Amino acid sequence: MAEIRDSENLQWVEGRCLSYSGTMAYGLWQSIIRALLKISEDTPPAISRYALANPMRNLEAANFDIYYACLSKLLGIPLNAESENLMTHMDAENVKNTTFVAIEWFLKTSAQQSPLIIVCEDLHWADPTSLALLKRVLYLTEHSPLLFICVFRPERTHGCWQIRETAQRVYPHRHIDITLAPLTTTDSEKLFINLLLSLPGPDERQTVIGLPESLKPQILERGEGNPFFVEEILRTLIRSGVIICDIVTCQWQTPREVESVSIPESLYAVLRSRIDQLPKNTRSILELASVIGRIFSYTLLADIAEKQSLDEHLVILLREQMIRERTRLPEAEYIFQHQLTLEAVYGGLLHRVRRVLHRRVAEAIERLYPDRIEEQLGLLAYHWEQAGDTIQAINYLRRAGVKAAAQYANDEAVDYLSRALDLLPSTDMHGRFELLLTRERTYNLLGDREVQMRDLDALQKLADQL
């Protein structure tokens, strides 16, 4: 897979869903389109406009104008007056349908230039709109050199499972299902050996294994066939001095009796042990990053890290393989090496500390990107919720709900509006009436009559009191 990814004869694009993005409409496709255009959220608007317009230059004028407007809106690129005028004359359903068609065209055109592989990571966190579009564009694999690699946990009640079922049922001749099972004992042993041999000795000479035979079964048994667990156990034992590499022989060995070796009982315990061994200030930077999310930009982290020596700490985290560089240009962006690493870091924070850090992140986003607040509504709603700031959370949840409704992303709209209503005091009758009215209209579009009637009843009661 790595060889294919690095091939110059094809395009390899990764779209990633995040644990908090399940209600952020088009979250998956925003990352995919940006990757195809080689831009990021922080790319200057002028460069983003050119990157988007360039592949569309051969379109008919009418299609260009409408596709350009819809995709600009999707990517958070500020609209010019002409595009803004076009969007104001389209209803929500028309905007959604046109956006779907525009992305469909964009994928088809990109695949015609060179074979295109799109990796959809963590689909179990995808928003409903992203999944609906993915389901729609699967047919492109019949006519274009296009491959979708969909990675998700086997959560049968989530919409990602419908993608699998559709592919199996409609495209069985093009669908391959790979279920990752725990490694066998033999495979775990091979992994164990290869991991040790891949680590350089004190003077970069090839290392050899001289560990007691009784140690290996303990590690493999505790690893439970999980390659990440086995790797993390090894790293923890090496860092704690349980396993050392002899400076003369370059041989891995244990300096004390194997019987006295303590192997962490769970993956979480292994990860926490590694995290706790980091220098205090480096660990602090990692904790800040965990609050931002799985993917974080240098600019945002630097802002909330204040005067700490960020570059120095990032080098340590890269060397320790806690994080890796995701992009370097147009702006440095990093990603946690594994979602479980992020969860272990974030899970170790006290709730009061989390609230403080989420507030710092939210305030930094508002300060750094004042012209892109509309694009960040869902993210800001999440951070203000986690910060425990009810007023700010309600504000952003309401705005995110209205925006989702305008995109015809009805499931996402209902979620935002419901969360806002849960936080809004019962005494704010005008505010509740406004939110209920928007949610009732959204339920109407979804055809969910039972809950729609409940909202209508609540609206009637509020109207009688106003």
Q: 122 burial class (0-12, 13-18, 19+ CB within 10 angstroms)? A: buried
d(CA 449, CA 443): 7
* Burial environment of residue 306 by CB neighbours within 10 A (0 to 12, 13 to 18, 19 or more): exposed
What is the 8-class DSSP label of residue 10?
A: S
Sign of dihedral through CA atoms 449, 24, 103, 365? positive
Question: What are the structure tokens assigned to 135, written together?
Answer: 């389901």
Res 187 pLDDT > 80: yes
Q: Kindly report the CA angle at 367 between 361 and 368, in degrees rounded to 5?
A: 90
Integer CA distances (angstroms), 269 to 226, 242, 288, in order: 14, 16, 20
**Can you tell me the mean pLDDT for 375-400?**
95
Q: H/E element holding 395? A: helix 390-406
For the beta sheet containing 11-16, the strands, ordered from the edge strand earlier in sequence to the opposite edge, are 11-16, 116-121, 146-150
- pLDDT, mean over the chain: 88
pLDDT at position 84, please? 86
Asked if CATH classification 1.25.40.10 holds for the domain at 382-466, the reply, yes or no, is yes
Query: Which pTM does this prediction carry?
Result: 0.83
pLDDT in tens, 108-158: 999 999 999 999 999 999 999 999 999 999 999 999 999 999 999 988 999
Distance CA 133, CA 156 (A): 19
Average pLDDT for 414-418: 94
Q: What is the rounded CA–CA span in Å between residue 236 and residue 195?
A: 13
Query: Rounded to an integer, what distance in angstroms lies between the CA atom of residue 15 and that of residue 2?
Result: 17
Q: Give mean pLDDT, residues 220-248.
A: 82
Per the CB < 8 A criterion, the answer to whether 113 and 81 are in contact is no
Q: Would you list the domain boundaries of the chain?
A: 2-170, 185-274, 382-466
- Comparing 53 with 4, the larger pLDDT belongs to 53
* Average pLDDT of the segment spanning 161-169: 96
Q: For the beta carbon of residue 283, count every other beta carbon within 10 angstroms.
A: 19
Residue 7 has pLDDT above 80, yes or no: no
Does residue 203 have a pLDDT over 60?
Answer: no
Alpha helices by DSSP H, listed for 54-184, are: 61-75, 81-88, 92-113, 128-137, 160-170
Say which residue the tokens 């769970």 belong to. 266
Q: How far is CA 428 from CA 70, 417, 424, 456, in A?
A: 35, 15, 7, 18
Whether residue 119 contacts residue 45, with contact meaning beta carbons closer than 8 Å, is answered with no
Tell me what pLDDT residue 258 has: 59
Q: Token digits for 104?
A: 């469909």
Task: Indicate the SS3 state at residue 99.
Answer: helix
What average pLDDT does range 22-37 have in this prediction? 92
**pLDDT at position 397:** 96
Q: Which helix (H) or strand (E) holds 325?
A: strand 323-327
Q: What are phi and psi of 297, to 5 degrees?
A: -90, 155
